[in-house]
Amino acid sequence: MTGTINNFIDLEMAADQFQEAINFAYIENCPLTVRKDNRKTNGWNQGLAEIRRKVRKLFNVAKNSGDWTDDKRTLTEYNKALRQAKRE
């Protein structure tokens, strides 16, 4: 719309055209994208969950007792299983 705004109807038409221009510019410059679901982890399974629980329990025991041998061994086992699951 060009020209002057003389009444309420002209004002409404100008506002509608302005809104359409803004919407068109937004749609052209900000295309819709599909969000990725980052909650799914590759390779995670029930066996890894059990080993993880075991590692956490042994860590808490080792923290209080000072004997880290079982914790280190189980943590190494967990890390190997995790890497293997990610490879598969």
Residue 52, amino acid: R
Is residue 1 scored above 60 in pLDDT? no
Domain spans in the chain, listed from the N-terminal domain onward? 1-34, 46-87
**Contact by Cβ (8 Å): 81, 44:** no
**pLDDT confidence band for 44 (50 / 70 / 90):** confident
- Residue 35 scores a pLDDT above 60: yes
Rounded (to 5) percent helix, strand, coil in the chain: 70, 0, 30
Amino acid at 27: I
Residue 48: φ, ψ to 5°: -65, -35
> How far is Cα 18 from Cα 61, in angstroms, rounded to an integer?
67
What is residue 52's predicted lDDT score, i.e. its pLDDT? Answer: 95
What pLDDT is recorded for position 32? 87
Residues recorded for the chain: 88
